[in-house]
Structure 1
Amino acid sequence: MFRTNEKKIGGLEGVYYAKVNFANETAIVEFDPAIITAEQFPKEIQKLGFEIPATRQTFLVEGMTCASCVSRVEKNISSLTGVSDVKVNLATEQATIEYFPSLISFDDLKESLGSAGYQLFTANHDYPSDEENRKIKDQAILKMKLVLSSMVSIFVVFIGMKENEFSLPLDLNIILFVLATPVQFYCGRQFYLGLWQGIQHGYADMNTLISVGTSSAYLYSTVVTFFPYLLKQPAEKIGVYFDTSVMIITLVLLGRWLESRAKRSASNAVRKLMQLQPKTAKVERGDEEKDVHISELVLEDRILVRPGEQIPVDGKIYEGNSSVDESMITGESVPVEKNIGDDVYGASINKTGFFKMKVKRLGQDATLAQIIKLVENAQGSKAPVQKLADKVAGIFVPLIIGIAFASFIFWWVFGNDIAEISTSNFAFALMAFISVLIIACPCALGLATPTAIMVGTGQGAKMGILIKGGEALERVEDLDTVIFDKTGTLTLGKPKVADVILDPEISWMLIKCLY
């Protein structure tokens, strides 16, 4: 048999050598990548009736700030030999990659993405995870910067409006410079770091737009404050724009803070699913019973489950019987009777009886872990409209920078010829340049659809409804009929009083009895 398989594989165009190991179901193949690529090879193998197993894994991506980053990360990873599919989600900051471990390793993926200015990490499903703690810390720092820049913004705007109503100890421009500088270089530090990273790796993103826009206003205002003679303009025509740079940074920080809150809120469903599983189990080992953390359990461990307790992991009953609430797994509200030999699932609730069970599935093989994986895959999926948005975002930033420079040159050259401008042509052109850069930040392109998918799939999971992904959600609007398998899926099985109707004569007799 394996000789025949070797001939089949060796007969493929571009294959020089093939040796099949029937015992461990592996094959060593040498081929010419100029004739048949690593991406084509698995498809050719499938045509022969064989299958090369691919690994589908979700990773965390650090460093993405806008929709253009999504397109850049996807292009970088998909260009690697051994990667068959990649989907990047800005809202979850995750990349779901399908790849062949025999052709490419995690270190290869990490190194390639690192060369593009991003960091790749394996997702850790423990709760609270290191990743979750990092996000909480980053959000706290972002909030602190937002508060500082907001206070400065309010003060700068206030003294700018009231400068003629009270005397100042220093020149107003110098005061504005002192206030704006920490906002520009401390609160706005992350934008400069992103700009530098983009320069190093040859790309432009939202950080480029914000950095160039605010720096233009800040540097121009600094020159006006300390070296006004360089501009060769009448003093009354020279203004400063420290308030512009400060307000822009404040508003962008506000947007990022709200964005981070929206991401955390939208991902609450997965975190709550992770919290469903008990942390410990009562294990029978030898003649003693002891509480053991679920991470220390092994297959075939004997676990005791009492009435009212959550079942810690998936297993099979070998002693006792009970009724179990499996609504978290199946959506069925009516408890299910369980006897010896029946399967039970982690995070479901034991209602009435006492039983003993053996552990059958742990870790990523457990039912709850599979549900979490389904929800994460759904949240990481892309609706067709998002794929279009990501394509647009890929060329959006360079296009906007070009339009901004065109606006600057146009107003600098023709400003006074086509409009009455109270300031110099250069100052007006600078404000037009900044306006185009700042107003065109592509955040919404990358966040709107994935955030909606996260919220929809997350809320569905909380209600016991598993949604396969963004494409399924988008197709829901075309549905005209929904079919449910049985009554228990929709009802709770707990009757309650809907209304009380009394005979008028009896009602009058009851009232008389009260008196």
Structure 2
Amino acid sequence: MEQASTATAAVEPSASETDFGVGGMTCASCVGRVERALKKIPGVQQASVNLATESVRVHWQADAGDAVAMSARLQRAVRDAGYEPRPLEAAEAEPATGWLGLPRDAWPVLLAALLSAPLTLPMFGSLLGQHWMLPAWLQFALATPVQFWLGARFYRAAWHALKARSGNMELLVAIGTSAGWGLSSWLWWRAEAGEMPHLYYEGSALVITLVLLGKWLESRAKRQATEAIRALHALRPEVAHLLPDGIKREQLVDVPVAELLPGDRVLVRPGERVPADGSLLQGSTQVDESMLTGEPMPVPKQPGDRMTGGSLNGDGAVELEVAAVGAQSVLNHIIALVQDAQAAKPPIQRLVDQVAAVFVPVVLLIALLTFCAWYFWQGVALEDALLPAVAVLVIACPCALGLATPAAIMAG
């Protein structure tokens, strides 16, 4: 799901800007934790974390110190918060294809579903008046790999949250499912020979499976969110044909587009993409500017006309004088606008982030109060007091949120 945060404070015109990637973020609580860590650094005016592209943009006072030193301090703050700073990448790579052609990140979801499916048989059997309860040892064998192998990511994220003295969805999932698994194991261990206690392995396994499904949908949504930027970057050619200037170059030379300078003269051959913004010097052609206007009809170009980098040349070879390169080009401006749009957050999302920050502690407090009310006030046995407390933890696991949000993003 796409989430970012923007500070309310205005950015001074003289502020400097730094962008870098952040790995290990999983939810809105992670976004807030990274932002708080960055805002504690002296000189930082604004921090905007984009969960969809796993990147952060920081505006800081130009007089706060050397840019290299400030970048190092920002990345150290992210690392101390429990996340991994990394170089900013324009696009997120597609996941490696695993066995049978399925994406590697889809296999944990499939395995969890296959292991959890038999645990649901008693529920379907009861609808048909059948008793399909699996033996306790088989339920344990099916649920344990889901809990501690496929669900290991939740324990790692929960540990990072505890070290940072905060809560997130993974912490609640880890506590709730561990409580259900532990209670089931305890009831099985205390059962008399031949007795079939009511166990709750299926609840813990299904919660982890559903949240894993939500995480996989969210991962797909993140990759789709960067497809527009990947497509725009693909419009830039790698090489330009630099024409001789009669002084230093006596013949045509192929150079990387990044080495072009304003005033250079380049040759654009038929069917090639225009390497940079500039003016047409010689020749005439038709140019496909659909990347800029959306109009598929070619536009005639004559000497003196402007040409946009990334547009597709037609059937004429022309000479172009470079006018803008790098960050000043039209294509780079478009890419920057798309990235800024992805970094925006609607007001309702800011409200969700605020609720997420207090959701976990509130649920834990309710579970504790539930246990105390049953055990101390009602005076029931320890096992009977644990059941409603565990029910609060399991039911509070945000499966619906973990599924609904990625599904809504994928649906557009």
One fold, TM greater than 0.5? yes
Q: Residue 273 of structure 1 is aligned with which of 223, 227, 232? A: 232
Percent of paired sites with the same residue: 34
Q: Residue 47 of structure 2 is aligned with which of 68, 86, 106? A: 86
Tell me the TM-score normalized by structure 2. Answer: 0.80
Q: What amino acid is aligned across from residue 61 of structure 2 in structure 1? A: F
Distance in 1 of aligned mates of 2:358 and 2:133: 50
Q: Deviations over 1:446-500 (max 9, x none)?
A: 8799x49x95xxxxxxxxxxxxxxxxxxxxxxxxxxxxxxxxxxxxxxxxxxxxx
Residues 137-152 of structure 1 correspond to what in structure 2 (within 5 A)?
140-152=103-115
Distance in 2 of aligned mates of 1:216 and 1:204: 17
Q: Residue 115 of structure 1 is aligned with which of 80, 86, 96? A: 80
Distance in 1 of aligned mates of 2:241 and 2:195: 81
Where structure 2 has 5 or more consecutive residues not aligned to the other structure, the ranges are 1-8
Query: CA contact under 8 A between 1:66 and 1:443: conserved in structure 2?
Result: no
1:359 is aligned to 322
Query: CA contact under 8 A between 1:67 and 1:446: conserved in structure 2?
Result: no
SS at match of 2:93: helix
User: How far does residue 299 in structure 1 lie from its aligned partner after superposition?
Assistant: 5.2
1:217 is aligned to 180
Tell me the TM-score normalized by structure 1. Answer: 0.65
Distance in 1 of aligned mates of 2:322 and 2:18: 25
Distance in 2 of aligned mates of 1:136 and 1:379: 27
Q: What amino acid is aligned across from residue 384 of structure 1 in structure 2? A: P
User: How far does residue 384 in structure 1 lie from its aligned partner after superposition?
Assistant: 2.5
1:69 is aligned to 30
Q: How many residues align?
A: 389
User: How far does residue 217 in structure 1 lie from its aligned partner after superposition?
Assistant: 1.2
Where structure 1 has 5 or more consecutive residues not aligned to the other structure, the ranges are 1-39, 44-50, 418-422, 456-515
Sort the Cα spacing of 1:242 and 1:443 in 2 relative to 1 into closer, same or farther, 3 A. closer
SS at match of 1:114: helix
Sort the Cα spacing of 1:445 and 1:398 in 2 relative to 1 into closer, same or farther, 3 A. farther
- The one of the two structures with greater contact order (alpha-carbon pairs below 8 A, sep at least 6) is 2
User: How far does residue 124 in structure 1 lie from its aligned partner after superposition?
Assistant: 2.3
Q: Which moved more, 1:217-226 or 1:434-443?
A: 434-443
Q: Which moved more, 1:404-413 or 1:139-148?
A: 404-413
User: How far does residue 162 in structure 1 lie from its aligned partner after superposition?
Assistant: 7.0
1:304 is aligned to 267
Q: Residue 124 of structure 1 is aligned with which of 89, 93, 105? A: 89
Distance in 1 of aligned mates of 2:78 and 2:228: 29
Q: What amino acid is aligned across from residue 83 of structure 1 in structure 2? A: V
User: How far does residue 277 in structure 1 lie from its aligned partner after superposition?
Assistant: 2.3
Q: Deviations over 1:120-174 (max 9, x none)?
A: 334222xxx5x4256989x944311111111101123337877997999xxx212
Query: CA contact under 8 A between 2:217 and 2:407: conserved in structure 1?
Result: no
Which is greater in Rg? 1
Q: Does 1:370 align with 2:329?
A: no
State the Cα RMSD in Å. Answer: 3.8
Distance in 2 of aligned mates of 1:54 and 1:314: 28
2:278 is aligned to 315
Q: What amino acid is aligned across from residue 85 of structure 1 in structure 2? A: Q
2:3 is aligned to none
1:406 is aligned to 369
Sort the Cα spacing of 1:222 and 1:424 in 2 relative to 1 into closer, same or farther, 3 A. closer
Distance in 2 of aligned mates of 1:176 and 1:117: 35
Sort the Cα spacing of 1:289 and 1:79 in 2 relative to 1 into closer, same or farther, 3 A. same
User: How far does residue 220 in structure 1 lie from its aligned partner after superposition?
Assistant: 1.7
SS at match of 1:132: coil
1:326 is aligned to 289
1:247 is aligned to 206
2:58 is aligned to 97
Q: What amino acid is aligned across from residue 265 of structure 1 in structure 2? A: Q
Distance in 2 of aligned mates of 1:289 and 1:158: 73
User: How far does residue 312 in structure 1 lie from its aligned partner after superposition?
Assistant: 2.2
User: How far does residue 224 in structure 1 lie from its aligned partner after superposition?
Assistant: 2.5
Q: Which moved more, 1:394-403 or 1:254-263?
A: 394-403
Q: What amino acid is aligned across from residue 21 of structure 2 in structure 1? A: L
User: How far does residue 439 in structure 1 lie from its aligned partner after superposition?
Assistant: 3.8
SS at match of 1:324: strand
Distance in 2 of aligned mates of 1:351 and 1:341: 17
